[in-house]
Amino acid sequence: MADDVQQIKERLDITDVVSDYVDLKQAGQYLKGKSPFTDEQDPSFYVSPEKGLYHCFSSGQGGDVFTFIQEMEGVAFREALSLLADRAGVTLSGDDGSTGKRKRLLEIVAEAQEFYADKLKDSSSAQEYLQKRGITEKTAERFSLGYAPDSWQAMLNYLRESGFKTADIITAGLAKQSDSSSDPYDRFRNRLLFPIADTTGRPVAFSGRRLDPDDPAKYINSPETPLFRKKEVLYGFHLAKSAMRDLDAAVLVEGQTDIVLAHQVGFENTVASSGTSITKSHLDLIGRFTDNLILALDTDTAGRRAALKTARLALTEDMTPKIAKLPAGSDPADVVVAGGKEKLQQAIADAEHAITTAVRWTKEGSNDRRDFLGRLQEQVLPLVVSIENAITRDHFIGEIAQQSDIREKTLRSELDLNQGGRSLRQPQKRDSLQDADRLTRRERQENIESELMAIKKWQAQKDDPEISVDELSEKIAAIQDLKIRDRTPEVDEQDAFAAEVSYADLKPEELERSIEELLLHFREVVLQQAYEAAQAQLAQTDDTKTKQSLLRKCQEISNQIESVRADIREHV
């Protein structure tokens, strides 16, 4: 690797690399410019061509061409090495030939992008669509938009004539093999094309928007290729990453037109997924530059569902997700076309935390109190469970309690039970004054036991219960016999009502399944307490026979715990 690094440094001038990001001017034996890392307006960034080093006096950062790319692209050393090797034309040691193949595919896609871009100005239908959507010529050039001719082999023939092999063109995702003949055909025909680039701006795939309203598929995307993994690529990321860093926020939209128009009116920190749900890899890309995520997805039911799903994933990554206040029934592109920059700016400025928005949506969409509580459990509490920071989680527990008229301790025990891997359809009242992640096993045991007792009380009050109350009583009692402490929690009418609210809309078989999961978790936590008690006794005794007996007991309990956990995994 050391030889690779040295070879790359010999072939690349740090001035050329840095100049792609910073406007440099001569200053004696150095070059200087404004810092790419801070908002400092005075030139404080210096490059030494002779030594191949840079230093930023406003941020204190410095290093060589590799550390510069790591900082600017938000990548690890290995990725910076690969990027610079491509730029320098260096084949890395240990390469199995995949680098050469990847380079050919990149050349094919780049050639295709130029071909499509050249055809754009000659397509009246494409120009008409751009004009209708308000996309300017400058913006079309910025995003390298193109047009795929209404021809079966226009691209294929062009690339063949340029010296590329048919097999490689197919591998790059630009052509498809025909089922009826041996000759392939163009994947994209009569479509407006949005090139999809990697993190450095190299085109790796395309998304084609139909221009003929009779075409059944509104969008056609490139298939996954050695260059393109849709779960790892964000559309517009290469154009947005600098603004993400400067603004410390990323705006996530759903479609290509949304992002193009958002950039056009100044929101250059906007990105979109490429035909798939947002993944951890997508958030990792964004997280290189900011932890603040503003979701500006479509406002229909599917868009709201996607927003909450993305928000939950973002929370697990310790990011702060907010949801923009777009007008009902509109997407960002609609907002720009109808109201211009100011309307979109207002929608983003008014963005609320995803949990606050989720509570508001839940209230707006509920028919009555029971419906609201059910929606709260299904749509809001999973977001709270996903919060890693205990202080932040505590804040939102308080906010939800205030807005929903539910006691905080009810929410805390609800969250604790959910962290055990259960469904969120739980009763609301459980008596713990600590955060879910700080509950002791005894408290968890009491919470689960109270819930089971509440379900039993609710069912016992019914004329026609969905389950056998006697059988449930026997199962609860069997586990209670294993408890270290004899105390049994008391439940009242409010507990029974909470159980009814949580479980009333479940089918009998679903209710039984939920109860079985509860019983398994109850048994698990009771056995864990028994195991800890046996270990404590073991540590306090010096008698050999007693130690052997306790060791056997610990092993037996441990086996029982593993058996219960296996059963729990089957229920998840």
pLDDT of residue 240 exceeding 60, the answer is: yes
Half-sphere exposure in the Cβ direction for 514 (13 Å, CA):
25
**Residues 117 and 42 reside in one and the same domain:** no
Percent helix, strand, coil in the chain (nearest 5)?
55, 10, 35
Residue 409 is predicted with a pLDDT of 78
Residue 26 is predicted with a pLDDT of 93
**Residues 110 and 159 reside in one and the same domain:** yes
Residue 211 is predicted with a pLDDT of 96
CA distances in angstroms from 100 to 70, 226, 232, 438, 549, listed in the order given: 23, 12, 22, 54, 66
403 lies in some domain? no
Structural domain span for residue 258: 234-362
Residue 147 is predicted with a pLDDT of 98
Average pLDDT over residues 47-69: 92
What is the percentage of the chain residues whose pLDDT exceeds 90? 46
Residue 425 is predicted with a pLDDT of 38
Confidence of residue 106 (pLDDT cuts 50, 70, 90): very high
pLDDT of residue 192 exceeding 80, the answer is: yes
526 lies in some domain? yes
Could you give the strand order of the β-sheet that contains 146-148, starting from the edge strand earlier in sequence? 146-148, 191-197, 203-210, 219-221
| Domain edge (last residue) among 58, 88, 118 | 88
Confidence of residue 485 (pLDDT cuts 50, 70, 90): low
Do β-strands 292-295 and 250-253 pair in parallel, antiparallel, or remain unpaired?
parallel
pLDDT of residue 424 exceeding 50, the answer is: no
**Residues 248 and 212 reside in one and the same domain:** no
Three-state DSSP state, 423: coil
353 with 321: CB under 8 angstroms? yes
446 lies in some domain? yes
Strand partners, 148: 191
**Residues 553 and 450 reside in one and the same domain:** yes
**Residues 215 and 243 reside in one and the same domain:** no
Could you give the strand order of the β-sheet that contains 250-253, starting from the edge strand earlier in sequence? 234-235, 270-273, 250-253, 292-295, 320-323, 352-353
* Nearest in space to 366 (alpha carbons), one of 354, 376, 355: 376
Confidence of residue 388 (pLDDT cuts 50, 70, 90): confident
CA distances in angstroms from 326 to 157, 292, 360, 468, listed in the order given: 45, 18, 14, 50
Q: Express each pLDDT in 195-217 by its tens digit.
A: 999 988 999 999 999 999 999 99
354 lies in some domain? yes
Residue 486 is predicted with a pLDDT of 62
Q: How many domains does the chain have?
A: 4
Residue 422 is predicted with a pLDDT of 40
Q: Express each pLDDT in 355-381 by its tens digit.
A: 999 999 998 888 888 788 888 888 898
Tokens standing for residue 172: 């790059």
Confidence of residue 540 (pLDDT cuts 50, 70, 90): confident
Q: What is the CATH number of the domain that holds 256?
A: 3.40.1360.10
Q: What is the mean pLDDT of the chain?
A: 87
Concatenated DSSP letters for 543-562? -HHHHHHHHHHHHHHHHHHH
Residue 429 is predicted with a pLDDT of 35
**Residues 78 and 119 reside in one and the same domain:** no
| Domain edge (last residue) among 187, 221, 255 | 221
Average pLDDT over residues 428-453: 59
367 lies in some domain? no
Strand partners, 320: 292
**Residues 444 and 546 reside in one and the same domain:** yes
Of 12-16, 187-191, 273-277, 454-458, the range with the lowest mean pLDDT is 273-277
Do β-strands 320-323 and 352-353 pair in parallel, antiparallel, or remain unpaired?
antiparallel
Sign of CA dihedral 176, 178, 181, 185: negative
H-run or E-run covering 563: helix 544-571
563 lies in some domain? yes
Tell me, yes or no, if the pTM score tops 0.85.
no
pLDDT of residue 220 exceeding 90, the answer is: yes
* Nearest in space to 242 (alpha carbons), one of 406, 475, 54, 20: 20
pLDDT of residue 434 exceeding 50, the answer is: no
* Nearest in space to 558 (alpha carbons), one of 517, 523, 527, 516: 527
Residue 437 is predicted with a pLDDT of 38
In angstroms, rounded to a whole number, what is the distance separating the alpha carbons of residues 107 and 115? 12
pLDDT of residue 183 exceeding 60, the answer is: yes
**Residues 211 and 260 reside in one and the same domain:** no
**Residues 493 and 525 reside in one and the same domain:** yes
Confidence of residue 415 (pLDDT cuts 50, 70, 90): confident
* Nearest in space to 203 (alpha carbons), one of 266, 281, 110: 110
**Residues 504 and 460 reside in one and the same domain:** yes
Residue 323 is predicted with a pLDDT of 97
Residue 432 is predicted with a pLDDT of 35
Burial (CB count <10 Å: 0-12, 13-18, 19+), residue 228: buried
Single-letter code of the amino acid located at 517: E
**Residues 566 and 447 reside in one and the same domain:** yes
Half-sphere exposure in the Cβ direction for 489 (13 Å, CA):
22
**Residues 42 and 74 reside in one and the same domain:** yes
Residue 353 is predicted with a pLDDT of 96
